[in-house]
Amino acid sequence: MIVQRSFALPSYAVFAAMLGIAGLPIYIHAPKFFVDTYGVSLSALGMALFFLRLLDFVQDPFLGKLAESTRKYRVVPIWTAGLVMALGMFGLFAVQAPISPVLWFCLTLSAIFSGFSFLSIRFYAQGISSFGELGQLRLARWRETGSLLGICLAAMAPTLLLVFSENVFLLYAALFSGLIVVALMLMQQHWTTSPSLVPKTFSGSILTDPVVRQLLVLAVLNTAPVAVSSTLFLFFVESRLLTPDMAGPLLILFFLTAAISAPIWTFYASRLGARRILLVAMVSSIVSFAYAFSLEAGQVYKFAVICVTSGATLGADLAILPAIFARRLSSTGAPAEIGFGLWNFASKLSLAISAVIVLPVLEFFGFQPGHNNSDTGLFALSFGYAILPCALKLLAIWRLLRLQLGD
């Protein structure tokens, strides 16, 4: 029996906000933090992020199986993963690297990513258990809005926390640890020991389902533009627009627009069809990023418009696609934890590719963060931030049009 409890939705939103803080913002803040603090090269960070993603490739399917097998222990594995993630965040930003900065970067991020992956898998699988196939878009309005609000808080945190302390990332890590405790306590009663409560039985491998395979490929292609643009966002504002002081407000604008737009996208998706609404958002994303390629130094207001439009399309990406995948898992009766272990695996593949290719290629063309750059270096930065995501998004659109959703 599927239990849909409206009072549980705010708890899901807060938990999603906590995960949001530990997800995408890490790719924005951590590389620049280590460049500024330790002088680590972009190539070294790119290779480090690539090998961290390789770790995820190995462990995410395993974490999916672990999440399924440890349901009987209810909240114990949940609190354990939360503690691991808190320690990793504290070590990353609040502890002076006791060993090689690159190695410390890898160790602390591996703790954050492992805890994040396990909690994400259990969290999304629990959403299927509690809300069923037909409740996924409704749940996504709360869950993805909460996630995006968490991303907004993380984006604005370095700017806001500067009012209270010069060591903003120490305070950032401490507040995040507190939020983990709050989020885990709010979700305390919502973890079930039973597997996803779906009416159908399932046998065989999840990957035998053709739609699941197509959705996993789409996850790789559609995450890639976000991975590339997020990695280069701060560098683009600092070196292309030459307005580093505006990076914080622009990030806030970007993610706040995404948070506001997410429930709107899911509302229309439930009425007009998920594929149709997602296509509208993806085409809009291409238009906004193509315009960003023409920007020059000082054109902050034009870039703010791009942040609004691209942020709105991000809201659709983050809200609709996971809901589609969850509905498919629910309809087939596939083990949700294993399914979302593979979903995490697919999503992070594009993050690995962007990290190992984009940053070293920028350095190859002469781009140096925080320095006066040649026209070639700036062109490479603009191309990487604006044109490359457009090309990747076109591939995602092609995959979505071929997707056999049965709609």
Tens-place pLDDT, residues 257-266 = 888 888 888 8
Q: What is the pLDDT of residue 258?
A: 83
Does residue 196 sit in helix, strand or coil?
coil
As a whole number, mean pLDDT of residues 17-23 equals: 84
As a whole number, mean pLDDT of residues 365-372 equals: 74
Work out the angle at residue 117's Cα, subtended by the Cα atoms of residues 278 and 289, and round it to the nearest 5 degrees. 35
The pLDDT confidence band at residue 2, using thresholds 50, 70 and 90, is very low
Q: What is the pLDDT of residue 394?
A: 92
User: Is residue 147's pLDDT more than 50?
Assistant: yes
Dist CA 196 CA 23 (whole Å): 25
Give the number of other Cβ atoms within 10 Å of residue 346's Cβ. 22
Question: Quick one: 254 exposed, middle or buried, by C-beta within 10 A (0-12, 13-18, 19+)?
Answer: buried
Q: What is the DSSP letter of 386?
A: I
As a whole number, mean pLDDT of residues 356-384 equals: 80
Contact by Cβ (8 Å): 266, 140? yes
Give every CB contact of residue 15 below 8 A, 6+ residues apart in sequence: 123, 146, 183, 184, 186, 187
Give the number of other Cβ atoms within 10 Å of residue 380's Cβ. 20
Please tell me the least confidently modeled range out of 222-231, 367-376, 385-394, 397-406. Answer: 367-376
Q: In the chain, what percentage of residues exceed pLDDT 90?
A: 4
Token representation of residue 343? 């979903």
**Of 92, 78, 94, whose CA–CA distance to 19 is shortest?**
78
Architecture label for domain 8-402: Up-down Bundle (1.20)
The pLDDT confidence band at residue 23, using thresholds 50, 70 and 90, is confident
End-to-end CA distance of the chain: 26
Give the number of other Cβ atoms within 10 Å of residue 272's Cβ. 11
pTM above 0.75, yes or no: no
User: Is residue 385's pLDDT more than 80?
Assistant: yes
Torsion of CA 236, 238, 240, 242, to 10 degrees: 150
> Which of 20-34, 80-94, 393-407 reaches the highest mean pLDDT?
80-94
As a whole number, mean pLDDT of residues 296-315 equals: 88
Q: What is the pLDDT of residue 199?
A: 39
Domain positions in the chain are 8-402
Token representation of residue 165? 């302390």
